Amino acid sequence: MKTFTHLMQEVQEKGLCHHCGGCAAFCTAINYGALELGEDGKPRYSNKEKCIECGICYSICPEINELDAETNNLVSWSPPMGRILGIAVARATDPEVRNRATDGGVVTALLLHLFERGRIDAAIVSRKAGPFQRQPWLARSREDIIEAAGFYFDTLPNIPHFSEAYSTFSPSIVELKDVAQKTLNRVAFVGSPCQVNTLRRMEVLGVVPSEAIKIHFGLFCAGNFQFGPEERWRLEKIGNFTWDQVFKVNIKEELLIHLRNKEIRRIPLQQLTFMKRFACQFCEDYAAEFADLSFGGLGAPEGWTTVVVRSPKGQDFLSKAMRADIELLKLKEKPLQAQVIRGKVLEWSEKKKQSAAEHFQELEKEAV
């Protein structure tokens, strides 16, 4: 039986840890208390003597292939990028939601729809903790859900005084401990592909509190980026802007820096390798292939969201929300546009898988 010690050796020490928080969240949720997330976001022993060496933390790690077959079977995964029941382009009908959203506000609109109709009791999301940082949060009201929407900036003149490295990533899975402690049993989860992957592995094993997650919303992910002082300075030079001009940041096919004067600075993602987290180079999942619904701005017009429907449950939730809270871009009238969007998502998915394979080969060569 492999334990957390093996996980550190095989994943963390090689730089492959995605900081998804699954191992520590599980251990905390069931009150073992042996693991925790450190200040650097990495899991670690908080009290090694409490570890019962159950091996679950090892098995649910998305970098460990022990449960690959079972997880694929659980979600009916199929190549080249998971099960797809349909692709839509949509946006929230509520102007307040759209104004706060990074893209079309579909995730926020869906969460509000489910919460206000009593289909969920809460949602695990992330909310703004600083100009470049988000933190996990258990949203339990309409106001909570709306507050978590979008990726915006606060007191921009103070940005030069930040000394620590900020990140676009939030270890939302750690909120599972609150789900367990509050005995919630109808929760929506919004997170990155690696986080959804971990949750599905927990579901395969039937471990607490994965059964409380009733719907998995996955976000397209080209990688997570660090916004430390050096990275922020280099971005200013590359994009020819200053941070006091910035209104919001978005990632589609490029990094989009939206300025307050309505201008947009577009920076190719290939130029951002200096700020991408090391472990993201080894991730194969761009389009959240294990989710019920996957969301991103890729392929969609400005102000709209691309939605990949992956499960009957996701299809049901989306179709019911379309009656009041979500509107669709009529792709049936533009069949070529629908094909282009699907092709773009597939292209970026394949690109990420190929890149991960190449980086793994390089890592193996270095090890030899």
The string of DSSP codes covering 276-336 is B-GGGGG---SS-TTSSEEEESTTSPTT-EEEEE-SHHHHHHHHHHTTTTEEE--GGG-HH
pLDDT at 177: 66
pLDDT at 150: 74
* Domain annotation covers residue 120: yes
pLDDT at 327: 94
Q: How confident is the model at residue 131 (pLDDT cuts 50, 70, 90)?
A: low
**Which one is predicted more confidently, 110 or 137?**
110
Q: Which amino acid is at 7?
A: L
Query: Which pLDDT tens digit goes with each residue over 247-306?
Result: 888 888 888 888 999 899 999 988 988 888 888 999 999 999 999 999 999 999 889 999
* Domain annotation covers residue 55: no
Mean pLDDT, rounded, for 36-56 = 88
- Among the ranges 93-102, 200-209, 344-353, which has the highest mean pLDDT value? 344-353
* Domain annotation covers residue 159: yes
**Minimum mean pLDDT range among 101-110, 267-276, 336-345, 359-368:** 359-368
Range of the domain at 123: 67-367
Query: Which pLDDT tens digit goes with each residue over 91-130?
Result: 999 999 998 888 899 999 999 999 999 999 999 888 776 6
CA-closest candidate to residue 222, choices 345, 307, 131: 345
pLDDT at 256: 87
pTM attached to this predicted model? 0.88
pLDDT of 6 > 60? The answer is yes
**Which one is predicted more confidently, 225 or 348?**
348
Phi, psi of 317 (to 5 degrees): -65, -40
pLDDT of 159 > 80? The answer is no
pLDDT of 152 > 60? The answer is no
* Domain annotation covers residue 32: no
- Count of other CB atoms within 10 angstroms of residue 323: 8
pLDDT at 153: 45
CA distances to 12, 40, 49, 238, 251 from 45, in Å: 13, 14, 9, 40, 34
- Within a 13 Å sphere around the CA of 339, how many CA atoms are in the beta-carbon half? 4
Give the integer Cα–Cα distance in Å for 196 and 214: 12
Give the chain's domain count: 1
pLDDT at 171: 59
Q: Could you tell me how many residues make up the chain? A: 368
* Domain annotation covers residue 13: no
Q: How confident is the model at residue 27 (pLDDT cuts 50, 70, 90)?
A: confident
pLDDT at 173: 67
CA-closest candidate to residue 207, choices 66, 54, 3, 26: 26
* Domain annotation covers residue 59: no
* Domain annotation covers residue 342: yes
* Domain annotation covers residue 220: yes
Q: What is the mean pLDDT of the chain?
A: 86
